[in-house]
Amino acid sequence: MALKTLGQFIIEKQADFPYAKGELSRLLRDIGIAAKVINREVNKAGLADILGESGDQNVQGEMQKKLDVYADEQFIEALSRGGECCYIASEEHEGGIDLTVRTTATSHSGKYIVCMDPLDGSSNIDLNVSVGSIFSIYRRKDLNRPLTEADVLQVGHDQVAAGYVIYGSSTMLVYTTGKGVNGFTLDPSIGEFCLSHPDMRIPAEGRTYSINEGNYLKFPQYIKDYIKYCQMEDVETNRPYTSRYIGSMVADLHRTLITGGIFLYPETSSYPDGKLRLLYECNPMAFIIEQAGGMAISARDRVLDIKPVHLHQRTPIVIGSMNMVKKVCEFMNRPYEDVNAAGSKFTFSG
């Protein structure tokens, strides 16, 4: 049977969004094109002068890698040229990029806001370890008035689409539009992403926990207690669990999505508000994992219910298999129902 390409799949699903009239489909196509260009450079990184640091720092105070900059440029170019995007929030820029102020006629009518981490896990670039790109898409609130901060700082449950690309032994694009999760593997022989993982579901249980245990002494007590729980032997619950930590959120969560498990990046004494960014790391990954049947919480709330107050806001996150995240809630002394904030539009279910 012939493989279904990403473009074909997007067009088939276009009817799910009667308000879109094809714009969201074209935006997802543009993201796929940028991902293919970045994949090409990632795969020849050792042969070209694109390894190492660029010499600049990003807004987080982190040294930018050359591929960080390259990936950022490719996404901005693709999104600017396509005309469906009106605003880009990127990890690599202190302020957002307002495309409505540019002179091209198409950018003024863009309906969508894209938040992105162009190259997640960039500390692994020089080591030939899997890295990825993360994106999140929101609808602009009102096309009849100028773009405002409220259009950008939306809660995660208002995302219309989110996804990631993992550049590894094979390159995969995984995305959701709120109607399940589907994965596409890049076939280099035809240069197309082809549907390889339809209707992805995360197992309710897993045997892997993923956390940077080098920060153990800085973790809150409930996380320390949960780690000890993971390490204790118990035949009935298939413990001890296996510790697996790659250091790239995309790579760790891709494994977690497929095999089950839990990924934890909690608050620490050094980062009391957490370290990962809400808009372009935690929100899109939480949307994907929830759509696949999993769960994502911060230290206080469901991730997708957090109201952002600035572009580079950070948050703790515990995300993965439903039953494993519920267990962390027990160590918080908060049953998982209490984590679902009052007034939320979502109820956790197995």
269 in a labelled binding site:
no
Higher local confidence (pLDDT), 2 or 277: 277
212 in a labelled binding site:
yes
Q: Is pLDDT at 274 greater than 90 in this prediction?
A: yes
How far is the C-alpha of 33 from the C-alpha of 59, rounded, in Å?
26
Task: Please write the tens of the pLDDT for every residue from 325-349.
Answer: 999 999 988 655 655 543 333 333 3
pLDDT mean over 242-269: 96
Q: What residues are paired with 209 via a beta bridge? A: 243, 262
120 in a labelled binding site:
yes
Share the mean pLDDT of the chain. Answer: 86
The per-residue pLDDT for 46 is 54
117 in a labelled binding site:
yes
Q: In the chain, pLDDT over 70 holds for what percent of residues?
A: 84
Task: Please write the tens of the pLDDT for every residue from 211-243.
Answer: 999 999 999 999 999 999 999 999 998 999 999
The domains of the chain, with CATH numbers, are 6-197 (3.30.540.10), 208-339 (3.40.190.80)
Higher local confidence (pLDDT), 185 or 20: 185
283 in a labelled binding site:
no
Q: Is pLDDT at 281 greater than 90 in this prediction?
A: yes
pLDDT band at 149 (very low <50, low <70, confident <90, very high): confident
> Could you write out the three-class secondary structure of the chain?
CCCCEHHHHHHHHHHHCCCCCCHHHHHHHHHHHHHHHHHHHHHCHHHCCCCCEEEEECCCCCEEEHHHHHHHHHHHHHHHHHCCEEEEEECCCCCCEEHHHCCCHHHHCCCEEEEEEEEECHHHHHHCCCEEEEEEEEECCCCCCCCCHHHHCCCHHHCCEEEEEEECCCEEEEEECCCCEEEEEEECCCCEEEEEECCCCCCCCCCEEECCHHHHHHCCHHHHHHHHHHHCCECCCCECCEECCCCCHHHHHHHHHHHCCEEEECCCCCCCCCCEEHHHHHHHHHHHHHHCCCEEECCCCEHHHCCCCCCCCEECEEEECHHHHHHHHHHCCCCHHHHCCCCCCCCCCC
225 in a labelled binding site:
no
236 in a labelled binding site:
no
245 in a labelled binding site:
yes
pLDDT band at 41 (very low <50, low <70, confident <90, very high): confident
Higher local confidence (pLDDT), 170 or 123: 170
pLDDT band at 1 (very low <50, low <70, confident <90, very high): low
pLDDT band at 105 (very low <50, low <70, confident <90, very high): very low
123 in a labelled binding site:
yes
Residue 16 CB: number of other CB atoms within 10 A?
A: 11
